[in-house]
Amino acid sequence: MTALGITVALLVWLVTLLLISIWKHIHSSWKLPPGPFPLPIVGNIFQLDLKNIPKSFTMLAERYGPVFTVYLGSRRIVVLHGYKAVKEVLLHYKNEFSGRGEIPTFQVHKDKGVIFNNGPTWRDTRRFSLTTLRDFGMGKQGNEQRIQREAHFLLEALRKTHGQPFDPTFLIGCAPCNVISDILFRQHFDYNDKTCLRLMSMFNENFYLLSTGWIQLYNNFSGYLRYLPGSHRKLMKNISEIKDYALERVKDHRDSLEPSCPRDFTDTLLMEMEKEKYSAEPIYTLDNIAVTVADMFFAGTETTSTTLRYGLLILMKYPEVEEKLHEEIDRVIGPNRIPAIKDRLDMPYLDAVVHEIQRFIDLIPSNLPHEATRDTVFRDYIIPKGTVVIPTLDSVLYDSQEFPEPEKFKPEHFLNENGKFKYSDHFKAFSAVYTRPSFRRPWMPGGVVGLWMADPCLWNKLMSEVWTAESRSKSPRSFMMLYQSPSLPALFPGSFMYF
């Protein structure tokens, strides 16, 4: 065939591909929410800034409205933007959109555990795990004591820094890591324990990598990219190593299990495994238990310690807020005792600061991807089964009607004119997690530990003991510089998401 013949054939092939794609798109999308026209193979990739997807979503929402469709490759994604649409989906469509969109870098967790499970075991594993977490104190007195106990270890570790500048990434991370580890394994790590540091460095690295443009690309085009070198390999290796660690702990527990006296979360899951010994399709296999435990470990540790780090950074950046906070802490708690959860009811400023930190850092701006479990009529659209659904959280946390000047850190966003705490239904840092108005505390596992551990009250009190007035006046700048270590990729994340 001549060169001209080849070129013509190629052109015909391309035009046919384009026509088929246009036809398929029109046919399949006539009842879908509006959105930019997708190109064959790549979809709308050129309309999205992979390094800042939340911003791209905001721009698309301005053009197409609060419910719109985009394609990443052939993956159809419906995005919900703004309070009304997000709340409607999370509240009234929680069953229809309760699936989990696939995240290929978490391949070893696929259809196992809680967070990345989209398979038949999800519902049971989730229900049982969350109940078990509560039984082990999550959201109850037990956890408060756990945290108070841990505070002493943290304080001791901080004292050893002798008021000198240090990078708090892992030192602070050890505290939530130990709280979660106690629930999961009844295990306490020393603050310089190599295994603990290794785990935390992987959690930290994973959280960072997940927000990078390359991983966004990989998670949507893994079919094409899986054989290439790149940071997805590192991320997947870390995820496997964390899972292997969890599996080892689960096996240790199995070998020393005493069914009449479950020690922790892992034992309780193993007892379920025991009950299903003769089942043809068991839910609680060793693998499922290991992934569930790894899910809790990662989700519980990194979210909380990142919130604490950013909370600390914010307090250093806004000394006037820190001053007011200290005044309230000194007045309500005083110097001689450790804070308790009930103190919070008398500390509206603290409550407002904690909420504002979580709003402002916007830890998971585009949420975790949900998936339509069946063809669903939503508003006037039909969203087919299997469509990825993203209820964006930044669009609610940064709503300028609810939070005037949302780009500014202002505890006043959560205070009324009398200085009392003002609950906002726009506080959706935990997504489909609703707060009980009487207690204003999310009931999801993450919510409870997260909020309390992310509580600058505790933190601030610790800091005030080790970071004396003198060293404070000398060291904030150097402390700040160290604080912005490479492990904190950006001053404020705002770009973390994964599909």
Which chain residues interact with ligand HEM by CB under 6 A?
114-115, 126, 180, 295-296, 299-300, 303-304, 307, 363-364, 367-368, 429-432, 445-446, 449-450, 454
Q: Which is nearer to ligand HEM, 440 or 472 (CB)?
A: 440
3-state secondary structure of 51: coil
Q: How far is the CB of 137 from ligand HEM (least distance, A)?
A: 11
Q: How far is the CB of 449 from ligand HEM (least distance, A)?
A: 4
Q: How far is the CB of 56 from ligand HEM (least distance, A)?
A: 19
What is the sign, positive or negative, of the torsion defined by CA atoms of 472, 478, 482, 488?
A: positive
3-state secondary structure of 259: coil
Q: Which is nearer to ligand HEM, 234 or 263 (CB)?
A: 263
Q: How far is the CB of 454 from ligand HEM (least distance, A)?
A: 5
Q: Which is nearer to ligand HEM, 431 or 460 (CB)?
A: 431
Q: Helices marked H in 160-230 — which ranges?
A: 168-185, 194-210, 213-220, 222-225
Q: Are 376 and 383 in contact (CB under 8 A)?
A: yes
Residue whose structure tokens are 């599996």: 247
Amino acid at 105: T
Q: How far is the CB of 323 from ligand HEM (least distance, A)?
A: 25
Q: Which is nearer to ligand HEM, 45 or 314 (CB)?
A: 314
Q: How far is the CB of 368 from ligand HEM (least distance, A)?
A: 4
Q: How far is the CB of 267 from ligand HEM (least distance, A)?
A: 17
Tokens linked to 142? 């037990």
Q: How far is the CB of 363 from ligand HEM (least distance, A)?
A: 5
Q: Which residues are CB-neighbours of 196 under 8 A, at least 6 positions away? A: 174, 177, 189, 190
Q: Is residue 120 classed exposed, middle or buried when 0-12, 13-18 and 19+ CB atoms within 10 A define those classes?
A: exposed
Q: Which is nearer to ligand HEM, 63 or 123 (CB)?
A: 123
Q: Are 197 and 292 in contact (CB under 8 A)?
A: no
Residue whose structure tokens are 């804070």: 339
H or E element at residue 84: helix 83-87
Q: Which is nearer to ligand HEM, 114 or 209 (CB)?
A: 114
> Of all residues in this chain, which one has the CB nearest to ligand HEM in the complex?
446
Q: Which is nearer to ligand HEM, 216 or 431 (CB)?
A: 431
Q: Which is nearer to ligand HEM, 45 or 246 (CB)?
A: 246
Q: How far is the CB of 33 from ligand HEM (least distance, A)?
A: 19
Give the CB-side neighbour count of residue 68, counting CA atoms within 13 A.
21
Q: How far is the CB of 413 from ligand HEM (least distance, A)?
A: 17
Q: For residue 112, which phi and psi values (nearest 5 degrees)?
A: -135, 165
Tokens linked to 325? 């906070």
Q: Which is nearer to ligand HEM, 68 or 427 (CB)?
A: 427
Amino acid at 403: F
Q: Which is nearer to ligand HEM, 32 or 308 (CB)?
A: 308
Query: Pairing state of beta strands 435-436 and 370-371?
Result: unpaired
List C-alpha distances in Å: 124 to 106, 120, 272, 392, 476: 20, 8, 11, 26, 49
Closest C-alpha to 78, from 67, 92, 64, 62: 67
Q: How far is the CB of 292 from ligand HEM (least distance, A)?
A: 9
Question: Any long-range contacts for 140-144 (C-beta under 8 Å, 24+ apart)?
Answer: 143/179, 143/183, 143/448, 143/449, 143/452, 144/340, 144/341, 144/452
Query: Pairing state of beta strands 99-100 and 441-442?
Result: unpaired
Q: How far is the CB of 99 from ligand HEM (least distance, A)?
A: 10
In whole angstroms, what separates CA 305 from the centre of its chain? 11
Q: Which is nearer to ligand HEM, 328 or 394 (CB)?
A: 394
List C-alpha distances in Å: 237 to 106, 230, 232, 286, 353: 10, 12, 8, 20, 37
Q: Which is nearer to ligand HEM, 45 or 77 (CB)?
A: 77
